[in-house]
Amino acid sequence: MRKFREALMAAGRGLYVAVVSLAGSIALLVLSVLSIGFIALGVGVLTTPVVLGAVRSFAEWRRTLGYDWAGVRTPSAYRPLPADLRPGLVGQAERCAHLLRDPATWRDLLWLPVDMTAGFFTAALPAVLLAFAAEGVAIAAGLWRVLGDDYWFAFIPVRGQVSALAAGALGLLVLAGALRVNPALLQAHFRMTGAVLAPSKEALARRVERLSETRHDAVDTSAAELRRIERDLHDGAQARLVAMGMSLGTVEALLEKDPERARKLLATARQDSAEALTELRDLVRGIHPPVLAERGLGDAVRALALRMPLPVEVEVDLPGRFAAPVESAAYFAVSEVLTNAVKHSGAERVWLDVHHDAASGTLRMTVTDNGRGGADPSAGSGLAGIERRLGTFDGILAVSSPAGGPTLVTMELPCVLSSQKTSSS
């Protein structure tokens, strides 16, 4: 019974993929050819990024199905968009050129005709086998009586009950084979898809090199963070605690000789302890805010926005929690961008949007301000540090900040949602 259920599930999934792949691949291939051809007329510059984005989403969807349904993991190696894309038509042209220079784009386009032909056949084959077996059994059960004398079931001419029983036997034989091979056939379909979509060894080598660089940056950042914590402890809470200990020692000596002065020193020690506790709380909040650990990224960025001296409008749509390192990286990246907006932009209002794109499995955060613009990631404004922080998780940072504003900072992190729900506002 388990094998029959698996074979039937593979057939249903394969038929679904076959129908969608035939319609989607044909439509996207035609649109891609027309859009790229219209680049010479200027119209394609506007339509090609949209069409190629749809092709990427279609390919990513198939990668996701391959892993979820057949355990076939197909890596993607799309080049991230440059952070310095200009606004308007010029930026759209730069985006179009970037997509066309990406080898992954041409792998996707090469995959489309393969998917509509060989992909369609391999995806539909499990369902065809089950349908063929069901037809053979139905013929043996009496369907042969209405088919006529010139009907052939595969290589068997169905002209009576004996030949119908032979057709039924062949159907049962095909059914037995389908129970064994249907899951493997569906996996073979996704393996073929992965063989076309998978990046080349050179692309994987570049990705490994980039991840190695971001790992070194992460190590350097962690070391710098550790030194900051040690410095803050030494110069802040530790100094106050030492002073409080000395005051308490003096109080102990003055309790009988000068009670009035002892009371004053106790008041000073109590104030020092309160200030030390505040500094320790601030230090802990700088390492990992409690609200982030307890209530998740959505509530943490809302609390962060409330502490900003500028009004910040927050829109959060996160249907779940992320891994703690991802949430921490996202939180501090947003914190740094908001701090930059307060310090350098001259803005009067800031807009923060945080949501999860289920299609691409990406956490996307955008911070927009109505300030003077001119933000430059290479000018040491803190954006380069954010880019290194996100790069540790294979994330990207894009900045659009023309002179005169507004400034739009987009941050993306590939991540997976957990089942725990968070509220949205």
Q: What are phi and psi of 367, to 5 degrees?
A: -120, 120
Question: In this structure, which amino acid lies at residue 230?
Answer: E
Question: In this structure, which amino acid lies at residue 192?
Answer: M
Choose the weakest-confidence range: 37-41, 280-284, 412-416.
280-284
Residue 104 three-state SS: helix
- Cα angle: 96, vertex 99, 105; to 5 degrees: 140
pLDDT of 24 over the 90 cut: yes
Name the more confident of 235 and 62.
62
pLDDT of 168 over the 60 cut: yes
* pLDDT reported for residue 419: 47
CA–CA separation, 126 and 119 (whole Å)? 13
Residue 252 corresponds to which tokens in the numbers above? 């102990």
The 10 Å Cβ neighbour count of residue 305 is 19
Q: Which residue do the tokens 């794109």 mark?
A: 357
Choose the weakest-confidence range: 172-186, 264-278, 293-307.
264-278
Q: What is the mean pLDDT of residues 251-272?
A: 74
Name the more confident of 201 and 296.
296
pLDDT of 18 over the 90 cut: yes
pLDDT band with cut points at 50, 70 and 90 for residue 403? confident
* pLDDT reported for residue 425: 44
Residue 146 three-state SS: helix
Closest by CA position to 66, among listed 58, 40, 141, 106? 58
Residue 54 corresponds to which tokens in the numbers above? 């749809």
List the end-to-end C-alpha distance of the chain, in Å, as a whole number.
47
pLDDT tens by residue, 58-76? 998 998 888 888 888 887 7
Residue 192 corresponds to which tokens in the numbers above? 């073929």
**By the 8 A CB rule, do 207 and 381 touch?**
no
- The burial class, CB within 10 Å (0-12 / 13-18 / 19+), for 124 is buried
**By the 8 A CB rule, do 385 and 207 touch?**
no
pLDDT of 422 over the 50 cut: no
Q: What is the mean pLDDT of residues 117-144?
A: 90
* pLDDT reported for residue 118: 92
* pLDDT reported for residue 47: 92
Q: What is the mean pLDDT of residues 414-423?
A: 56
pLDDT, averaged across the chain: 80
pLDDT of 420 over the 60 cut: no
Residue 288 corresponds to which tokens in the numbers above? 């990992």
pLDDT of 360 over the 70 cut: no
The 10 Å Cβ neighbour count of residue 414 is 14
pLDDT band with cut points at 50, 70 and 90 for residue 284? low
Give the contacts of 32 (CB within 8 A, at least 6 positions apart): 48, 51, 52, 55, 109, 112
The 10 Å Cβ neighbour count of residue 160 is 11
pLDDT of 222 over the 80 cut: no
pLDDT tens by residue, 247-261? 677 777 776 777 777
pLDDT of 81 over the 60 cut: yes
* pLDDT reported for residue 119: 92
Q: What is the mean pLDDT of residues 33-43?
A: 90
